[in-house]
């Protein structure tokens, strides 16, 4: 049943939309959009699912992977980041990401990279504001959960040594100068850099995963190795927690990908299906390669594979079919395994929980293969007019390069700036005692 507001004059319902601009292409052709209760119900649910990915999903996933003396520190970081980003998001984050002020289709200007501040503190948001067919408040909340998980992903890279206050400052700077512009370029609509290039990124392969993955790599290099790495034993302290966290991530990811349709429709349904397929394929692929190379399959391996598959399918979930998902998942499982186990050792960077190996590499694999498996011949939705597989993959590659350069620069500059004021990592004694005691005066296990 249409809600009562549907009887109001069309212009009234359109007004908040005009204020927002036209963030998604369907809007451009839509006549007066009306709120849809089915879509709204799904997007309310999807927002909760994505929040569940971070709290407690990602927190437990990371919490189990560190040593017992550091378990609280990563849980704390995830929890604090979600809270901090929420406040930043409603203050100016949503505006810088989704305001369309100054955007012009095909024109590269400042507004191609950053939204305006006209929506700061959610100016203009009312109960009647709409984004497509859902209340804008729901869209704000849904996108908030994306903004929250992305900086939380990065903490895995410098886990077990980063100090808490610099982490919070880093979250502010990195969200502002890396996450918000990339979200704007990709999703704010015509006039956004990636949007105008025709880059396919349905749910955040560049915005979330490559962004966080490269930031993790740069941060791991700048913060430095943990004392004793890689010679000293630093095994995960509780892989059961990691499995619970990964499973919550898997379930939550349906909100992430299927929710990115911003509707309860066939696109959301297909996104859900391909997400499941890619995750399973990658879990099996990682397990198989590890089994072949090391003689035994491991729980951590199969779980890591599932996450790698979820990462890689994220940009493709709106454009590929089930067979494409199988291929994308399989490729991500193998390549992320090699990156996390071989590449890291060879290059000697201490990306403690493999943020780069899983999110960076998985994100890049996914972004590129999105261009391949959008092909109608391979079961995808087909290319936009004038695009071929070659040109689409080219655009995807360009977006990957811009994302890597952008986030790498912002990460390095942010950490450098913070390090002028305070040490980024705890002292040797604190690192030995564990961050739980050194930074929080708490202990994870009082057995």
Partner 1 sequence: MKMVMAIIKPFKLDDVREALSEVGVTGVTVTEVKGFGRQKGHTELYRGAEYVVDFLPKIKLEVAVTSDQVDRVVEAIQTAANSGKIGDGKIFVYELERVMRIRTGELDGDAL
- Residue 274 CB contacts under 8 Å (≥ 6 apart), including other chains: 257, 313, 316, 317, 320, 321, 322, 324, 325
Q: What is the distance in angstroms between the CA of the first residue and the CA of the last residue of the chain?
A: 55
The torsion angles phi and psi of 192, rounded to 5 degrees, stand at -75, 145
Smallest gap from residue 125 Cβ to partner 1 (A) = 44
Q: Which is nearer to partner 1, 33 or 297 (CB)?
A: 297
Task: Give the three-class secondary structure for 226.
Answer: coil
Instruction: Rank residues 304 and 314 by Cβ distance to partner 1 and give the closer one.
Output: 304
* Between 289 and 326, CB nearer to partner 1: 289
CB-nearer residue toward partner 1: 193 or 303: 303
Query: Which DSSP string do the residues of 260-274 spell out, in sequence order?
Result: GGSSSSHHHHHHHHH
**CB of 346: closest distance to partner 1 in angstroms?**
11
Residues in contact with partner 1 by CB under 8 A are 230, 233-236, 290, 294, 296, 298, 300-301, 304, 337, 340-342, 344-345, 354, 357
DSSP for 369-425, written as a single string = HHHHHT-GGGTS--PPTT--HHHHHHHHHHHHHHHHHHHHHHHHHHHHHHHHHS-SB
For partner 1, give the closer residue by CB, 25 or 228.
228
Of the pair 90, 241, the CB lying nearest partner 1 is at 241
Residue 233 backbone dihedrals phi, psi, to 5 degrees: -70, 125
- DSSP conformational letter for 225: P
Smallest separation (angstroms) from partner 1 to the CB of 310: 17
Residue 31 or 233: the one with the smaller Cβ distance to partner 1 is 233
Contact 278, 314 (CB under 8 A): no
- Least distance to partner 1, CB of residue 284, Å: 17
* Cα-to-chain-centroid distance, residue 345: 25
Closest approach of partner 1 to the CB of residue 408, in Å: 23
Residue placing its CB nearer to partner 1 in the complex, 168 or 234: 234
> Shortest gap between Cβ of 232 and partner 1 (angstroms)?
9
Sign (positive or negative) of CA dihedral 242, 85, 339, 321:
positive
Please name every residue paired with 5 in a beta bridge, in sequence order, or none if there are none. none
How far apart are alpha carbons 163 and 435 in whole angstroms?
8
Smallest distance from the beta carbon of 290 to partner 1, in angstroms? 8
Q: How far is the CB of 245 from partner 1 (least distance, A)?
A: 15
């Amino acid at each position: 049943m249409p809600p009562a507001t549907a009887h109001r004059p069309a212009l009234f319902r359109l007004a908040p939309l005009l204020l927002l601009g036209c963030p998604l292409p369907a809007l451009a052709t839509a006549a007066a959009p009306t709120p849809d209760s089915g879509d709204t119900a799904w997007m309310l649910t999807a927002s909760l699912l994505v929040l569940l990915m971070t709290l407690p999903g990602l927190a437990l996933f990371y919490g189990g992977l560190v040593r017992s003396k550091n378990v609280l520190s990563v849980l704390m970081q995830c929890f604090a980041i979600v809270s901090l980003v929420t406040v930043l998001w409603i203050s100016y984050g949503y505006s810088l990401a989704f305001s369309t002020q100054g955007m012009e289709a095909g024109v590269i200007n400042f507004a191609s990279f950053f939204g305006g501040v006209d929506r700061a503190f959610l100016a203009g948001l009312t109960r009647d504001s709409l984004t497509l067919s859902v209340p804008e408040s729901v869209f704000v909340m849904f996108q908030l959960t994306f903004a929250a998980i992305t900086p939380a992903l990065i903490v895995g890279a410098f886990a077990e040594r980063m100090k808490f206050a610099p982490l919070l400052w880093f979250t502010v700077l990195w969200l502002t100068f890396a996450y918000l512009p990339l979200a704007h370029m990709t999703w704010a609509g015509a006039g956004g850099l990636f949007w105008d290039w025709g880059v396919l990124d349905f749910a955040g392969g560049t915005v979330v995963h490559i962004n966080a993955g490269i930031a993790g790599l740069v941060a791991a290099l700048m913060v430095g190795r943990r004392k004793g790495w890689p010679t000293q034993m630093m095994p995960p302290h509780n892989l059961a927690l990691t499995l619970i966290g990964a499973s919550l991530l898997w379930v939550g990811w349906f909100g992430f990908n299927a929710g990115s349709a911003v509707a309860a429709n066939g696109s959301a349904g297909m996104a859900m299906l391909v997400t499941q397929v890619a995750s399973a394929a990658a879990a099996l692929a990682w397990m198989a390669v590890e089994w072949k190379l090391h003689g035994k399959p491991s729980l951590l391996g199969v779980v890591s594979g599932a996450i790698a598959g979820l990462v890689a399918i994220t940009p493709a979930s709106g454009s590929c079919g089930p067979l494409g998902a199988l291929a994308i998942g399989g490729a991500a499982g193998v390549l992320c395994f090699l990156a996390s186990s071989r590449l890291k050792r060879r290059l000697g960077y201490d990306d403690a929980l493999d943020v780069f190996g899983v999110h960076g590499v998985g994100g890049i694999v996914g972004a590129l293969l999105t261009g391949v498996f959008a092909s109608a011949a391979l079961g995808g939705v087909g290319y936009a007019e004038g695009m071929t597989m070659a040109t689409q993959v080219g655009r995807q590659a360009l977006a990957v390069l811009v994302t890597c350069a952008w986030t790498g620069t912002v990460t390095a500059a942010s950490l450098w700036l913070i390090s002028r004021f305070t040490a980024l990592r705890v002292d040797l004694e604190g690192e030995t005692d564990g961050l739980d005691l050194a930074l929080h005066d708490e202990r994870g296990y009082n057995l």
